[in-house]
Every structure is written in structure tokens, then in C-alpha cells.
Amino acid sequence: MSLEVKVPAAGESITSANVARWHKQNGETVRKGEVLVTLETDKVSSELEAAADGVLTILVGEGEEVAIGTVIAKLEGGAVAQPAAAPSSSASAPDAPTPLPAAAAAPATGQVIDVKVPAAGESITSANVGRWHKGDGSAITKGEVLVTLETDKVSSELEAEASGTLQILVPEGNEVAIGTVVARITVGAAPAAATAAPAPAPVATPAPSTAAVVKSTPAPVPAAAPVEAPAPRTFELPAAPASSQPAAAPVSDGRTTRKKMSMMRRKIATHLVNAQQTAAILTTFNEADMSAVMDLRKAVQEDFLKKHGVKLGFMSFFVKAVVQALKDVPQVNGMIDGQDIIENHFYDIGVAIGTEKGLIVPVIRDADKKSFAQIEQDILDYAKKAKEGKIAIEDLQGGVFTISNGGTYGSLLSTPILNPPQSGILGMHTIQQRPMAVNNQVVIRPMMYLALSYDHRLVDGKEAVTFLIRIKEGIENPTRLLLEM
């Protein structure tokens, strides 16, 4: 028995499609429900799945443009799929997507496990395949990191659920929907044909025979016995880009280079523009003499490190100073929600951390209840997770106020942008030795400019200035922070 794989109709205005990528090789045994090919039109892309089991004969090679209805492949022979309960044998097709066994049972040799993009929060609908840590066709071990996925907020790593051979379906740089199968693991040894190049035949002309038209589904269905080819039918291709479409490479003319903006950078851009458009942002400035904090750190640093295993940094002082200021000026610890004002009675403080891919703001929970050492440890842990790309979405949610330290990069003064829906953000800057008048004498002191941006819809100027002065007082007299004054 022979089934024809045709290019399906994709709307009245679409008359042709491009064979973008074959997911199976010429002469390979395939199972019902497996993705055979990705087709691209001038509007959308789609994946065609096998309507039955069989041996694939490719008639149209990759990159060829063909008319709707063209036969691009055939399924010959209709090999019968093994039942899920049957033990695997040497004759079993290694790529068969048999259902996963019970959680307690080990995967059987030859079984295929889908590697899907996991859910990453209600507001996240897609992810970018950032980097494959293993090559296509590589032997992998259970627990090994396969791929780094990037969303507009966080990055995460997916590990192998079993040992076997990796088949990559989505290359690096592609943006795919949550739940998309980006790879498959064939449990056991690598199939012999895994590295063989496909040998497509020349383009065939359309023929008015029965078509093995298949539809796009999120995952393969269990293998079944051969069936008669269904009657031709038309359907709209999904509007989302094909998961296997190659990522757009940077384009350069020697003078300029154009490249696709990362998901995180797009999110940051949207977030900042929205902040400017939805809040009345105003910034007030002051400066703090850092002498007391620097002297205290110098005096206790060795003992602090020995006792707590972490260094005493500047950030823990500012976190504590912000907490005290929020207690003294509670209007800043609120936010506008439509026609309502939300008053927060907790102190989860966001600390901005710069990464290679953009700025993230993990949150120190219940900062009012934590010691200086605990705050420093939280910051250190977040910095490590950010460097390794392991920040979780939960780490970034729920803050009531943000601290941004542009001084790390040498910034002398800036006007930070709010982190909606928060009503305030503190900008720290570089410490600079400057002449100051102290007791009618000019002395050189380590000074830091402080900037408080706030939502003027909720916070008045008097409250903002008072808030920033409270921070200044806490930094210049750190014993006040210990006494919560």
C-alpha cells in the first residue's frame, strides 16, 4: 500500500508552498503522527504529520517551491506499529513515539521521549531556543543539560529525562510556543541512519490521487496499524512561525549589521516604554556621605566574612535603609491599580542585576525580617543564578520597591525608570571623593549621589524628599539602621 503526502490547501490566496525542512530522511521508517516536513508559505508555516506507518520516499527536496496539491512524498508498505505494552525488539523503529510508561518504570530501549518547552508562568506564552548543549544525533545521559531556553523574563535549562540519542527539531534562535516539542530522545543506542543525509528525488507534478493529508497537532499520537488514506481536506495553517524555521542570521553590509532583538530585550523595551506612558515619573536627588558605612565595613569585614561566609557589601545597607524609609513614609510603599490605591504592608525589595542579556530584578523577600548577612547571601545567590541563567520567574515577582546600582558601571548621576506597578525606585551611583564643607572646614569625603524616581500620581514631592532624606540619614548613620530608626 502506498499513501501520498500532498501539500494541503492553506487559504484562497495561497497557491504554493516551500518545502522548508524534512524532519525524516529518505527511506526512513516513520510512525503515524510523527512530523514529516515543515512547509512555508508567504504568510504562515505548518508541519505535516504522517497519516499512517510506513517507509518514507521523499519526492521534493528542501528549498523547493511547489503548487498546492503537489505530492511531495509517499509512505510505502505501511509497517505495523508495536503496541505500547509489547517489549521492544531489534526490529522496532527507534523513532517510534510510544506512550511514556508509568513514572516508576524505566523507559524501554527504542522508546521516544518528547522534549517540550515547559510552562514558565501565566504571562509567558513563548520561549526562545537559546543554545543547544548537545549536538543533533549526540549520545546523551539522563540528567545532562540539553538546551537553554530564554523567555522575555528568565532563562532555564532542560535536562534529559533518559539516556539515549538526541534528535533536535528546533534549531538555536527560534521562538516557539509553550508546549512545543523541540527535540526527541530515542532511548538506547543511536540509530544507524541518524547521520545519513537525505537523498530527495526531483520535484514531482501534482497528481489527482488520494492524498495522505495530515494536520498539525502539538504532539504525535500513539502508533497504530495502517489505515486507508483519508479524503483530501483543507484547513488554515497556524499563524505562529514554524518551530523548525531557521533563525534569522545577522545581516551586514560592512557599515551596519541588522540582527533580531532578543526576547528579553524586547520585553525590557516594552516594559520601559509602558512605564513612561502609564505613570507620572518625577525624580528627586540628594547625596550621601559614605564615610561611616565604609569605615564600618572595613572594621568588621574580616570577622563578618569568617562568621557568615559572605562579605558585607553596600547593598545590604541600602536595602535596610529603604525598608526603614518605607516604614516612615508608607505612601511610597503603595501602587495604583485602576481607580484604587493598594497599600502594601510587607517589604519585598527588588535589586537590579545586570546580565549579558539584559537587566533583571530578583526580589529579596521580607527584607525587614532579614539580617545584613541574609540579605548579602540572597544577593550573592541571585547573582550566581543570573550568571548561570537559572533565575526562576518566581524570583522576579512581587516586589514593592526597586534599587538600581548604576554606580557599579561608573554612573555619576541618572534618573531611573519605575518598575511598574511599583511607585518608587532608588538609583545608587558611583562613590566619588569630593570636597565637602564639614564644621566650617573643607574636607574630602567619599560621596554618592542618590536619585529617587517616583510616581507623582500617588507620591507627593514632600513625601518623596522625606523618603530620600531617610535613606541618606540611614547611610550616614548606619547605627540607626540597626536600631530601626
Q: Which residues are catalytic?
A: 456, 460
- Centre a 10 Å sphere on the Cβ of residue 323 and count the other Cβ atoms it contains: 24
Distance of alpha carbon 201 from alpha carbon 19, whole angstroms:
13
Pair 68, 9: CB distance under 8 Å? yes
Which residue matches cell numbers 516513520?
A: 30
* Residue 95 dihedral angles phi and psi, to the nearest 5°: -95, 10
Which residue from 7, 41, 47 is spatially nearest to 180, judged by alpha carbons?
A: 47
Cα atoms found within 13 Å of the Cα of residue 270, Cβ hemisphere only: 9
Pair 264, 272: CB distance under 8 Å? no
The distance from CA 260 to its chain's CA centroid, rounded to whole angstroms, is 16
Q: CA-CA distances (angstroms) from residue 217 to 17, 238, 399?
A: 19, 10, 39
| Cell numbers standing for residue 408 | 557599579
In sequence order, what are the residues at sequence separation of 6 or more whose Cβ sits closer than 8 angstroms to the Cβ of residue 104?
Answer: none
